[in-house]
Amino acid sequence: MASTGSVNPDLAKERQKSTFNNEELTYFLYGGPENTKRKRYLQNLAIQDLSKMKLKQYATLSREEQYEQELQKSAYCFTMQKKLELNNPLERFYFREAIMPHEPAPYHLHNSMFIDTINKMATEEQKEKWIPLAESYRLVGTYAQTELGHGSFLRGLETTATYDPRTKEFVINSPTITATKYWPGGLGKTANCCVVMAQLESNGRKLGMHSFLVQIRDLDTHQPLPGVTVGDIGNKFGYAGIDNGFLRLNNVRIPRENMLMKHTKILEDGTYIKPKSERLIYGAMTFVRAAIVGDVGRGLAKAATIAVRYSAVRRQSEIQPGAGEVQVLDFQTQQFRLFPQIANAYALLAAGRDMLLFYMKITAQIDKGALEELPQLHALSAGLKAVSSWVASEGVEVCRLACGGHGYSEASGLPKIYVDVTPACTYEGENNVMVLQTARYLIKCCNAVQQGEQVPSLMKFLQSPPGGSSTLDVRLNLPDLVAAFEHRAARMTREAAQKLQTATSQGKPAHQAWNANAVELAAAGKAFMESYIVRVFAENVSKFKGQLQPVMMALCRLHAVTGMTQNLGDFLKDGYISSQQAAMLQQRLLDLLTELRPNVVALVDAFDFPDAVLDSALGRWDGQVYEALYDYSLRSKLNEKQVLDAYYKYQRPFMESQWQKNSQPSVTSRL
* Interacting span for its own copies (CB under 8 A) from 46-54, 197-205, 371-379, 645-653: 645-653
Contact 442, 486 (CB under 8 A): no
Examine residue 318 and tell whether it contacts its own copies (CB under 8 A).
yes
Strand partners, 147: 150, 181
Closest separation between CB of residue 383 and its own copies, Å?
Answer: 14
Q: Confirm or reject binding of residue 654 to its own copies (CB under 8 A).
A: yes
Question: Is 185 flagged in the annotation as binding?
Answer: yes
> What character string, x for contact with its own copies (CB under 8 A) and - otherwise, covers 458-497?
----------------------------------------
Minimal distance, residue 409 CB to its own copies, in Å:
6
Quick one: 548 or 585, whose CB is closer to its own copies? 585
Does 330 engage in binding with its own copies (CB under 8 A)?
A: yes
What span, in angstroms and rounded, lies between the C-alpha atoms of 504 and 347? 39
Q: Does 415 bind its own copies (CB under 8 A)?
A: yes
Torsion sign over Cα 599, 600, 606, 608: negative
Largest CA distance in the chain: 93
The smaller minimum CB distance to its own copies, of residues 397 and 595, is found at 397
Residue whose CB is less far from its own copies, 317 or 457: 317
Q: Between residues 182 and 358, which has the closer beta carbon with respect to its own copies?
A: 182
> Minimal distance in Å, beta carbon 320 to its own copies?
5
Q: Is 583 near its own copies (CB under 8 A)?
A: yes
Contact between 59 and its own copies per CB under 8 A: yes
**Do residues 535 and 486 make contact, with C-beta atoms less than 8 angstroms apart?**
yes
Q: Judged by CB, which is closer to its own copies: 20, or 571?
A: 571
Nearer of residues 297 and 407 to its own copies, judged by Cβ? 407
Q: Give the HSE-up count for residue 228: Cα atoms under 13 Å, Cβ half-sphere.
A: 23
Contact indicator for 552, 538 with CB cutoff of 8 Å: no
Question: CB within 8 A of 266, min separation 6: which ones?
Answer: 163, 170, 200, 202, 256, 259, 272, 273
Identify the residue among 33, 519, 542, 547 touching its own copies (CB under 8 A).
519
Q: Reduce the DSSP state of residue 440 to 3 states and report it.
A: helix
Q: Give min distance, CB of 390 to its own copies, in A.
A: 9
Distances (CA, A) of 287 to 105, 293, 346, 382, 385: 20, 10, 21, 10, 11
Q: Give the three-class secondary structure for 346.
A: helix
Region near its own copies per CB under 8 A, out of 9-17, 45-53, 551-559, 625-633: 625-633
Main-chain dihedrals φ then ψ at residue 200, nearest 5 degrees = -80, 135
Q: Which of residues 337-366 bind its own copies (CB under 8 A)?
A: 337
How big is the site for its own copies, counted in residues (CB under 8 A)?
163
- Cα gap 102→96, rounded to integer Å: 10
| CA 618/CA 625 separation, integer angstroms | 5
Nearest to 384 by CA among 461, 438, 433: 438
Binders in 552-571 for its own copies, by CB under 8 A: 565, 567-571
Distances (CA, A) of 331 to 320, 559, 593: 12, 19, 10
Q: Which long-range contacts (CB under 8 A, 24 or more apart) does 312-319 make?
A: 312/8, 312/10, 312/11, 312/14, 312/601, 312/623, 313/8, 313/10, 313/11, 313/623, 313/625, 314/404, 314/625, 315/10, 316/404
In contact, 190 and 107? CB cutoff 8 Å: yes
HEC states along 351-372? HHHHHHHHHHHHHHHHHCCCCC
Per-residue contact flags (x/-) with its own copies for residues 250 to 269, judged by CB under 8 A? --------x-----------
Alpha-carbon span 246 to 186, nearest angstrom = 10
User: For its own copies, which is the closer residue by CB, 27 or 107?
Assistant: 107
Stretch that binds its own copies, among 17-25, 195-203, 263-271, 416-424 (CB under 8 A): 416-424
What is the Cα–Cα distance from 576 to 570, expressed in whole angstroms? 9
Under the criterion CB under 8 A, does residue 84 sit at the interface with its own copies?
no
213's enclosing H/E stretch is: strand 205-215
Residue 408 interacting with its own copies (CB under 8 A)? yes
Q: Which is nearer to its own copies, 543 or 573 (CB)?
A: 573
For its own copies, the closer of residues 264 and 431 by Cβ is 431
| Residues in 433-462 that interact with its own copies by CB under 8 A | 433, 436
133 binds its own copies (CB under 8 A): yes
Please choose, out of 6-14, 19-27, 32-40, 628-636, the segment that lies near its own copies by the rule CB under 8 A: 628-636
Site string for its own copies, 171-200 (x = CB under 8 A): ------xx-x-xx----xxx--x-------
Compute the least distance from the CB of residue 11 to its own copies, in Å: 15
Residue 334 contacts its own copies per CB under 8 A: yes
Of 113, 213, 348, 366, which lies in the binding site for its own copies, with binding defined by CB under 8 A?
A: 213
Task: Find the shortest distance in angstroms from Cβ 363 to its own copies.
Answer: 27
Query: Within positions 225 to 244, which residues make up the interface with its own copies, using CB under 8 A?
Result: 225, 231-239, 243
Q: Binding mask 4-33 vs its own copies (x if CB under 8 A, - otherwise)? A: ------------------------------
The reply to whether 278 sits near its own copies by the rule CB under 8 A is no
Q: Is 135 a catalytic site residue?
A: no
Interface stretch with its own copies, choices 1-9, 114-122, 423-431, 456-464 (CB under 8 A): 423-431
What is the spatial distance between Cα 45 and Cα 52, in angstroms, rounded to a whole number? Answer: 11
Q: Which of 88, 6, 85, 76 is nearest to 48 (CA)?
A: 76
Burial class (CB in 10 A: 0-12, 13-18, 19+), 664: exposed
Region for 225 from its dihedrals, namely left if φ exceeds 0, alpha if ψ lies in -120 to 50, beta otherwise: beta
Q: Is 384 in contact with 359 (CB distance < 8 Å)? A: no
CB of 253 to its own copies, least distance (A): 11
Tell which positions 91-120 bind its own copies, by CB under 8 A.
106
* Site map 139..178 versus its own copies, x via CB under 8 A: xx-----x-xxxxxx--x--------------------xx
Burial class (CB in 10 A: 0-12, 13-18, 19+), 552: buried
146 annotated as ligand-binding: yes
Q: Does 137 bind its own copies (CB under 8 A)?
A: yes
Identity of the residue numbered 257: E
- State which of residues 101, 407, 619, 623 lies at the interface with its own copies (CB under 8 A): 407
User: Is 544 one of the binding residues for its own copies (CB under 8 A)?
Assistant: no
Q: 428, 486, 530, 595: which one is catalytic?
A: 428
Q: Which stretch binds its own copies (CB under 8 A): 299-307, 360-368, 376-384, 657-665?
A: 657-665
Binding site residue list for FAD: 146, 185
Binding site residue list: 146, 185
Active site residues: 428
